[in-house]
Structure 1
Amino acid sequence: MTWRKDSALRDGIQIGVDLVGGYYDAGDNVKFNFPMAFTTTMLAWSVADFGPFFGSELQHAHDAIQWATDYFLKCTSVPGFVFVQVGDGFGDHNCWERPEDMDTPRTPFAVSRTNPGSEVSAEIAAALAASSIVLRSSNRTYAARLLSRAKTVFNFADSYQGNYNESLGPWVCSFYCDFSGYQDELIWAAAWIYRASKLSFYSDYVLKNMYKLDPPYNGGSFAEFGWDTKHAGINVLVSKASLSVFLDSIPSPNPFVVNADKFVCSVLPESPTKSVSYSPGGLLFKEGGSNLQHSTALSFLFLVYARYTSSIKNTIRCGNVIVKPTKLADFAKRQVDYILGDNPLKMSYMVGYGQKYPQRIHHRGSSLPSINVYQKKLECQAGTSYFFSSNPNPNVLVGAVVGGPDIHDKYADSRADFPHSEPATYINAPLVGLLAFFKAH
């Protein structure tokens, strides 16, 4: 991507900690570590489960994961602290400027023993552990370092429990406030560390604490999965054969499998217990903005669970509807096909893919002239005219997936309509594994 250059090379310098690296979450220039860590966990899960299908893209996936984990190692390098954000969201969102020109505050925010943030710390631990699994084949020493740090950060998150909304609410809650509590992230992280280490301490932790996900074992949130809520992901992950070694002591029927099945039944269009909506063209919808994050994340879980249920020759019952594993894979493929252009508008919601795709995405760097083309600095408000311009973005952010159409399959293609036109890393990450699988099948 020749139109992008280095940015934020002094992050952390004011406190003497190197916080350079990582990813901006979406169309802004802030590093929000909670969604960034979830993105990393999902990218690593994509490779862990679908790596054989990546072909020549596998090394690129490893590079993308390590770009994040290098940063998270920095964020967890000071004992007793976990850095969870770099940049002031309000200052950043007040400006429409290229990341290379940033003059907004690059304030680092951290949680600590006295101001805890268990959800973001545990999600970072999950990302480090999941990444250690996939990077082990290429760099065992580095992978061992990731796993060791994951254990340390998990211990910190568990020992000093608290919600980062309370510690950093004024700075995080207009952007990535935690609504589901932190118990799901603690269990999610423990499950990932178990998968990476096979240490019984972490499987025991999952079993001892699963009741904290709402009785009976997250009955209230079994259908939720995303950067904030991990419940459905926990059930699918723990149900898988790779984790079944520690499930002998779970009462029958296995609550993780029961809830994973309930999750499937809450999503499938033909299920009598469906709790999501669908557009006329067949796109899954849940409340809130950036809807395609739900389509990609839930489809990813469907595909993982389809392969698991197929391996044990299991079927799922949704009332009087019998669901075979192939039905789950077909559902996931339908969502992916919709995103790539098989929809009423015949529009691909992946930028740069297909004949018709979003031209005016809500993304600063994409919408402003490249520093190659316009080398003078664009101040904070200097980009406003570009924001309101009806012209297509001058730089194509190839591969980025935007928030998507509305529930009527309509898409305005307007930068101002950010719930639909803004791309985000956590929309893309689950899609990577899906695409790898369907490329090979």
Structure 2
Amino acid sequence: MELKKKNNHPPKFRTRILHHCTLLLSVFAVLPSAQPFNYGEALSKSLLYFEAQRSGRLPYNQRVTWRHHSGLTDGLEQGVDLVGGYYDAGDHVKFGLPMAFTVTMLSWSVIEYGDQLAAAGELQHALEAIKWGTDYFIKAHTSPNVLWAEVGDGDTDHYCWQRPEDMATSRRAYKIDENNPGSDLAGETAAAMAAASIVFRKTNPHYSHLLLHHAQQLFEFGDTYRGKYDSSVGVVKEYYGSVSGYMDELLWAAMWLYKATDNVGDYYFKYLINKAHCFGGTGWSITEFSWDVKYAGVQILAAQLLMDEKHKEHRHVLNQYKSKAEHYICACLNKNIGANNIDRTPGGLLHVRQWNNMQYVSSASFLLTVYSDFLQTSNQNIMCPRGVVGSQELIGLAQAQVDYILGSNPANMSYLVGYGPNYPMRVHHRGASIACYRESKGYIGCTQGYDNWYSRKGPNPNVVVGALVGGPDCQDNFRDERGNYMQTEACTYNTAPLVGVLAKLNQLEEQQNPTLPLVASY
């Protein structure tokens, strides 16, 4: 029987590119690894992962063929259609907060690196991954002040080891409303829909407008009826409890709504300025960015606003945001004083927490990449307490983290499943660990899965390509065991930030060696 808890505060074709390392040195001031990788292939595989996590009725163009329809009665008991969305990890609960953060980060990746994704032939797949999430959020937001927060619950779900196609566990749905507030969940979902509205503005303007409308309603709901969602939805507390509270999500939502309203949403900008101090946006010096803690993301986006001359009246507050953003960046670079830095493993991996550490690595790599671009565009450096750093050092560290993920580490292990010759074969994932439903349609019961599949020593019968597993411990040690869920379970919010970073690194690689293929075949 599995009784894991995900709340991590705390408890929560191999294609090598053969070219000279000196080519990369001209791009990166700091070259963390002389071992080259095919970032285009990694990018393609990372986007494939989201298709493995789909809940609901799968489309005709579904590429992950070992998955089939599931959760087709979600919401029926409550009289609402909640079919669709994503399973967050290796189990079958649909948790609203990490799902929304996943979509926000996919959307931000497209906003920043849409051209690079298009050049790699992966933009359409990224758009499909985002829309699979936002279609579900539209369903879940059944009225202005009602948002369905979760389908299923972790406790009953973890008693069973089944394919999603065989699910026999509770699919009870839980909601937030005026009497049961959840400002953090409403805020993150608003951020996801606002960011996605930017993504679809040109290609699907009607859908973009619909998303923006929902985002504005959700922000107003979350701001008017304030409270932590895990106080209203108790079953989520042990899995995705809101340790940071809701103020960061309200600032995060306001920022994305300001951007989504074409930077003319004066109300949202004033909210960011007026609430900067009392909501912690200019007060908290943070060394993590995650599904729970959004401050570093808000601070980095606020710093970018300084480039716009129209904000000079509020430069003082924006510079305070920028100072906190750079505290985070300096912490990643080990350029702060004392305990204000992020630890590293002996192999050089950023290490925040024992449980599912890779989520912090991918999110840090994304923020480093975005801020590197900002510094380069604005011709700035960062004055860290332990030295001046420029844009190339930031992208160099981001590349070092990605290279570690892809195999440049003491274990010579790729922690991106399906990439390279050596990757985790026993991922903690129900669907991947049991015979494919399309080939073996016989029903597998709740405990039968534990008896016949969970305890098997061999590799999973299905490869969940593109999943970024939790990864090694603080000493670079990793045990590829199905029961080792702290290290072998993957989550959607692990892979989502990696999409943008891989797109950027693939572009830089292409600029240095344009004869290489953009992507590898599956």
Q: Give yes or no for the alignment of 1:19 onto 2:86.
A: no
Match of 1:177 in 2: 241
* Mapping of residues 6-405 of structure 1, within 5 Å: 6-55=69-118, 56-169=121-234, 171-197=235-261, 198=263, 199-214=265-280, 217-241=281-305, 244=308, 245-246=310-311, 248-251=313-316, 254-273=319-338, 274-385=340-451, 386-405=453-472
Q: Within 2, Cα distance between the matches of 1:438 and 1:399?
A: 17
What is the Cα deviation at residue 78 of structure 1?
A: 2.6
Secondary structure in 2 matching 1:173:
helix
Q: Within 2, Cα distance between the matches of 1:149 and 1:228?
A: 22
Match of 2:33 in 1: none
Q: Within 1, Cα distance between the matches of 2:200 and 2:318?
A: 35
The answer (yes or no) to whether the contact 2:277–2:283 under 8 Å persists in 1 is: no
Secondary structure in 2 matching 1:152:
helix
Structure-2 change in CA distance of 1:331 and 1:9 (3 Å): same
The answer (yes or no) to whether the contact 1:12–1:107 under 8 Å persists in 2 is: yes
Q: Within 2, Cα distance between the matches of 1:243 and 1:175?
A: 39
The answer (yes or no) to whether the contact 2:303–2:318 under 8 Å persists in 1 is: no
What is the Cα deviation at residue 184 of structure 1?
A: 0.5
Structure 1: runs of 5+ lacking an equivalent: none
What is the Cα deviation at residue 80 of structure 1?
A: 2.3
What is the Cα deviation at residue 344 of structure 1?
A: 1.0
The answer (yes or no) to whether the contact 1:223–1:231 under 8 Å persists in 2 is: no
The answer (yes or no) to whether the contact 1:116–1:160 under 8 Å persists in 2 is: yes
Q: Give yes or no for the alignment of 1:430 onto 2:494.
A: no
The answer (yes or no) to whether the contact 2:145–2:218 under 8 Å persists in 1 is: no
Structure-2 change in CA distance of 1:14 and 1:242 (3 Å): farther
What is the Cα deviation at residue 287 of structure 1?
A: 2.1
The answer (yes or no) to whether the contact 2:144–2:218 under 8 Å persists in 1 is: no
Structure 2: runs of 5+ lacking an equivalent: 1-63, 509-522
Describe the superposition over 1:14-68 as per-residue Cα deviations: whole angstroms up to 9, x where unpaired. 1221111100000000100100000000000000001110121001100110000
The answer (yes or no) to whether the contact 1:8–1:99 under 8 Å persists in 2 is: yes
The answer (yes or no) to whether the contact 1:195–1:243 under 8 Å persists in 2 is: no
Structure-2 change in CA distance of 1:136 and 1:252 (3 Å): closer
What is the Cα deviation at residue 218 of structure 1?
A: 4.2
Q: Within 2, Cα distance between the matches of 1:376 and 1:66?
A: 32
Query: What letter matches 1:422 in structure 2?
Result: E
The answer (yes or no) to whether the contact 2:332–2:342 under 8 Å persists in 1 is: yes
Match of 2:31 in 1: none
Aligned length: 438
Secondary structure in 2 matching 1:254:
helix
Q: Within 1, Cα distance between the matches of 2:245 and 2:318?
A: 26
The answer (yes or no) to whether the contact 1:207–1:250 under 8 Å persists in 2 is: no
Query: What letter matches 1:403 in structure 2?
Result: G
Q: Within 2, Cα distance between the matches of 1:188 and 1:376?
A: 46
Q: Within 1, Cα distance between the matches of 2:473 and 2:403?
A: 17
Secondary structure in 1 matching 2:316:
coil
Q: Within 2, Cα distance between the matches of 1:281 and 1:306?
A: 23
Describe the superposition over 1:187-214 as per-residue Cα deviations: whole angstroms up to 9, x where unpaired. 1000000001021110011111111233
Secondary structure in 2 matching 1:322:
strand
Q: Within 1, Cα distance between the matches of 2:318 and 2:257?
A: 25
Q: Within 2, Cα distance between the matches of 1:271 and 1:331?
A: 15
What is the Cα deviation at residue 388 of structure 1?
A: 1.3
Q: Percent identity?
A: 43
TM-score (norm 2): 0.82
The answer (yes or no) to whether the contact 1:237–1:243 under 8 Å persists in 2 is: no
